[in-house]
C-alpha cells in the first residue's frame, strides 16, 4: 500500500493521526509525519483516515490530479490534427521525476495512446523526495519505501539508469549516454536538480561528507547517523539544512549549523521570520552560527572528516558534515540544444513550452518541475524557478495537457507557489513568494508561541503569507494574494494581532538578471539575426549567477 499526503493541501487537522495512529503522527501542533508504505493490515484505517480528511489531502495507492479534464468551452480543432497525434504521436519524457511521472499519468488519462517513453538517469521509478530529510533520516521510513503511487497503471516504455546527454531539435531526437537516439514528436524536459556539492573536490571526498537529494544519499546518511557520531555539522540553513538539523536533534545527536546569512531560512522567508526560526533552532539545542562561512573541511591522515575551519578563525569539530548549499539544475545535457538554458533552468512560457535561444516559443518542447524557469503574472511576469513539490505536480499536469491540446485549449500555469517544511516539531507553510516583498506584518497569532501568520506586502499589495502551525489560514491568504488585496490586511479574525505594524521584510537583494552578457546577436538582415553563445559561456551552465 502506497500512501502520500499532499502537504500543500494539508491543514493539520490531525484526523488521520486519530484514525490511523500507527501510520500518521503529529509532531507538535501540526507537523505531520507518516509511513509512506504501511502494512496492508492498516489499509482499512488508512482508508477511513483518507475519507475523513477535511481537505482530501491523503492519497492511497494512486495520486489524484490537481487539474481535472473538463468539457472544453471551445469545440475541438476542425483539422482533427490533435486527435491524430493523440492516437499515433511519439512523446518522450526526459526525467523520471515527480513532474515526469505525473505527466505520464495525465497523458494516458487524457487519451494519449501513442508511443510514450520515460527516460530516467536513476534506476528507480519516481519517488517522493520530501520524506528523505524527515522520515528517512530518523529511520521511521526506509528509503526504498518512498516510491510514489501512480496516477493509474500506465503503458510506458521505461528506460531507467540511462542519462540523457543531448537534445537534437532538428532531428527530433534525445541522445542517451549509451549511444542510443530516441525519436520524438514532442518532448517533455523534467530532469530536475541535484544537490550542490562542496566546491573543493578533495574535501568533498572526505569520509563523513554528505549531500542529500537522492534516495541513495538519504540512505547513506541515515546509516551513518544511526551508527553513532560525535557531532554533525550542517553547512547551510535553508529548508533542507534546517530539516537535517531537526532530524539530528530528534535522534539526540549534537549538531552545529553554519549559515552565511543572518538567519536560517533567510533566503526564502527573509530576516524577520528567519529570526524566529533561529530562536526555534537554538531552543531545540542546535549550535547555530550565522554570518559566518566554512572556509575549509579538514580530515585526518586516513581521509576521515575531523572538523571545519570557519571564516574569522573559529573551528567546529565534527565527524559528519552535511552540505546543504542549494541545488544545481540538471541542464548540462541541453548545452548545445538551442534552447534558452542557464543556471536557473530552461526558460518557458506560462504554458510550459520551452523558449529557444532566440526568445521564440517552441511548440514541441515542454518543461516542468525544478528545471523550468517560467513567468508568473502575479509577480510582474518575472521568471521564477521553484524547487517545490506542488509546483512539480502542477507543471507536470499542465505540460501533459498542453502537449496534446491545440492552442485554443491550452492552460496557463498560474498556481501560486505553496511550500511546507516540518522542522523542530513545527509546521511551516508559505504561499506566494515571500522574498518578493518590502514589508511583513504578523497578522495573526503569537510569535512567542510560534503559532502565527505573517503576511508579506509589496507596494501596498499582499504578495505572500507564511504560517507557523497555522496552516488552516493559508487558503484565505492565498485568495487575498490572487485578488491583489491591500497590504497590510485589515480583517476582524481569530487571533488578530491588534497593534501589529508592518516592518521591513529584510529579504535578500534581488539578483539583477541582466548582470553580465551571456549571449551575442549575430547577423544584420532581420531574417538572418540569431542569438549565439560565445566561447566559454556554455561551460558556466552549472555555476551560480
Distance CA 469, CA 21 (A): 20
**What is the three-class DSSP state of 190?**
coil
Per-residue pLDDT tens over the stretch 46-58: 999 999 999 988 9
Q: At residue 543, does pLDDT exceed 50?
A: no
Summarize pLDDT for 17-29 with one digit per residue, the tens.
999 999 999 888 8
As a whole number of angstroms, the distance between CA 405 and CA 76 comes to 9
Mean pLDDT of 257-277: 97
Q: Mean per-residue pLDDT for 28-37?
A: 88
CA dist., res. 409 & res. 420, Å (int): 32
Provide the pLDDT for residue 491. Answer: 82
pLDDT band at 522 (very low <50, low <70, confident <90, very high): low
The pLDDT value recorded for residue 496 is 76
Question: Mean pLDDT throughout 12-21?
Answer: 92
Q: Which of 227, 234, 220, 207 is nearest to 301 (CA)?
A: 207
CA distance 114 to 105: 13
pLDDT at 542: 42
How open is the CA angle 277-282-285, to the nearest 5 degrees? 135
Statement: residue 77 has pLDDT above 60: no
For the whole model, what pTM was predicted?
0.89
Whether 169 has a pLDDT exceeding 50, the answer reads yes
Q: Mind listing the pLDDT tens digit for each residue in 475-511?
A: 999 999 998 899 999 887 777 767 789 999 999 986 5
- pLDDT > 70: percent of the chain: 89
Cα–Cα distance, 279 to 288 (Å, whole number): 9
**Nearest alpha-carbon partner for 406 in 157, 91, 75, 171:** 75
In 72-185, at which residue ranges do the beta strands (DSSP E only) sit?
A: 90-94, 115-119, 157-159, 164-168, 173-176, 181-183
What local confidence, expressed as pLDDT, does residue 527 receive?
Answer: 56
Task: Please give the residue that has the higher pLDDT: either 229 or 74.
Answer: 229
**Position 148 confidence tier, pLDDT thresholds 50, 70, 90:** confident
Per-residue pLDDT of 353-406, as tens digits, reads 999 999 999 999 999 999 999 998 888 888 999 998 999 999 999 999 999 999
Q: Indicate whether 519 pLDDT > 90.
A: no
Query: DSSP state, 127?
Result: B
Report the pLDDT averaged over residues 103-116.
94
* 239 phi, psi to nearest 5 deg: -65, -45
pLDDT at 315 over 80: yes
DSSP 79: T
State the pLDDT at residue 101: 92
Handedness of CA 173, 176, 179, 180 (dihedral sign): negative
Quickly state the pLDDT bin for 415 (edges 50, 70, 90).
Answer: confident
Task: Supply the pLDDT for residue 195.
Answer: 96
Cβ 298 vs Cβ 186: under 8 Å = no
Spatial contact of 478 and 510, defined as CB atoms under 8 Å apart:
no
Q: Model confidence at 161, in pLDDT bands (50, 70, 90)?
A: very high
* Whole-number pLDDT of residue 74: 46
- Grid cell digits, residue 111: 487519451
- Give the E-state strand segments of 382-417 in sequence order: 382-384
In 3D, which of 103, 91, 193 has the Cα closest to residue 148? 103
Whole-angstrom CA distances from 295 to 72, 235, 260 are 58, 11, 11
Q: What are phi and psi of 312, to 5 degrees?
A: 95, -5
Mean pLDDT, the chain, whole residue set:
89
Query: Is residue 93 pLDDT above 60, yes or no?
Result: yes
**Side-chain half-sphere CA neighbours of 218 within 13 A:** 29
Return the C-alpha cell found at 488: 497590510
pLDDT at 530 over 70: no
Residue 73 confidence (pLDDT) above 80 = no
Contact residues for 132 (Cβ-Cβ < 8 A; gap 6+): 143, 146, 212, 213, 214, 215, 217, 218
Exposed, middle or buried by CB within 10 Å (0-12, 13-18, 19+), for 252? exposed
Q: Are 496 and 488 a contacting pair, CB within 8 Å?
A: no
Amino acid at each position: 500500500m502506497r500512501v502520500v499526503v499532499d502537504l500543500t493541501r494539508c491543514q493539520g487537522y490531525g484526523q488521520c493521526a486519530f484514525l490511523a495512529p500507527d501510520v500518521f503522527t503529529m509532531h507538535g501542533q501540526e507537523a505531520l509525519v507518516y509511513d509512506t508504505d504501511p502494512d496492508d493490515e492498516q489499509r482499512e484505517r488508512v482508508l477511513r483516515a483518507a475519507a475523513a480528511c477535511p481537505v482530501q489531502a491523503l492519497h492511497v495507492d494512486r495520486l489524484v490530479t490537481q487539474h481535472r479534464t473538463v468539457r472544453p468551452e471551445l469545440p475541438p480543432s476542425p483539422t482533427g490534427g490533435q486527435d491524430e497525434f493523440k492516437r499515433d504521436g511519439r512523446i518522450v519524457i526526459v526525467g523520471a521525476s515527480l513532474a515526469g511521472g505525473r505527466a505520464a499519468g495525465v497523458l494516458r488519462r487524457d487519451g494519449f495512446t501513442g508511443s510514450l517513453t520515460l527516460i530516467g538517469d536513476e534506476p528507480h521509478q519516481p519517488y517522493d523526495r520530501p520524506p528523505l530529510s524527515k522520515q528517512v533520516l530518523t529511520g521511521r521510513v526506509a528509503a526504498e519505501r518512498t516510491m510514489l503511487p501512480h496516477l493509474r497503471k500506465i503503458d510506458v516504455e521505461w528506460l531507467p539508469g540511462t542519462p540523457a546527454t543531448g537534445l537534437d531539435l532538428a532531428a527530433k531526437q534525445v541522445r542517451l549516454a549509451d549511444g542510443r537516439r530516441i525519436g520524438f514528436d514532442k518532448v517533455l524536459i523534467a530532469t530536475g536538480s541535484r544537490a550542490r556539492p562542496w566546491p573543493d573536490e578533495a574535501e568533498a571526498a572526505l569520509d563523513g561528507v554528505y549531500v542529500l537529494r537522492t534516495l541513495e544519499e538519504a540512505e547513506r546518511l541515515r546509516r551513518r547517523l544511526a551508527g553513532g557520531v560525535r557531532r554533525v555539522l550542517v553547512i547551510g540553513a535553508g529548508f533542507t539544512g534546517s530539516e537535517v538539523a531537526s532530524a539530528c536533534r530528534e535522534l539526540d545527536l549534537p549538531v552545529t549549523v553554519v549559515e552565511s546569512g543572518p538567519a536560517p531560512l533567510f533566503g526564502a522567508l527573509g530576516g524577520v521570520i528567519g529570526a524566529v526560526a533561529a530562536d526555534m533552532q537554538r531552543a531545540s539545542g542546535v549550535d547555530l552560527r550565522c554570518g559566518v562561512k566554512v572556509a575549509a573541511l579538514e580530515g585526518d591522515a586516513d581521509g576521515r572528516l575531523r572538523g571545519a575551519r570557519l571564516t574569522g578563525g573559529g573551528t567546529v569539530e565534527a565527524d559528519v558534515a552535511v552540505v546543504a548549499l542549494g541545488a544545481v539544475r540538471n541542464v548540462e545535457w541541453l548545452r548545445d540544444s538551442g534552447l534558452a538554458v542557464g543556471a536557473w533552468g530552461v526558460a518557458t512560457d506560462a504554458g510550459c513550452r520551452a523558449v529557444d535561444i532566440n526568445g521564440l516559443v517552441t511548440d514541441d518542447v515542454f518543461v516542468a518541475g525544478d528545471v523550468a524557469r517560467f513567468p508568473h503574472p502575479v509577480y510582474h511576469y518575472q521568471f521564477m524557478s521553484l524547487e517545490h513539490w506542488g509546483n512539480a505536480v502542477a507543471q507536470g499536469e499542465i505540460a501533459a495537457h498542453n502537449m496534446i491540446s491545440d492552442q485554443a485549449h491550452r492552460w496557463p500555469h498560474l498556481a501560486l507557489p505553496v511550500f511546507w517544511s516540518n522542522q523542530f516539531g513545527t509546521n511551516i507553510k508559505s504561499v506566494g513568494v515571500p522574498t518578493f516583498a518590502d514589508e511583513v506584518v504578523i497578522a495573526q497569532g503569537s510569535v512567542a508561541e510560534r503559532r502565527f501568520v505573517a503576511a508579506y506586502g509589496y507596494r501596498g499589495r499582499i504578495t505572500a503569507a507564511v504560517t507557523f502551525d497555522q496552516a488552516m489560514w493559508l487558503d484565505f491568504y492565498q485568495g487575498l494574494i490572487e485578488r491583489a488585496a491591500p497590504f497590510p490586511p485589515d480583517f476582524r479574525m481569530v487571533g488578530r494581532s491588534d497593534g501589529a505594524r508592518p516592518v521591513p521584510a529584510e529579504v535578500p537583494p534581488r539578483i539583477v538578471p541582466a548582470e553580465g552578457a551571456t549571449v551575442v546577436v549575430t547577423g544584420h538582415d532581420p531574417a538572418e539575426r540569431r542569438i549565439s553563445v560565445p566561447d566559454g559561456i556554455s561551460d558556466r551552465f552549472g555555476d551560480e549567477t
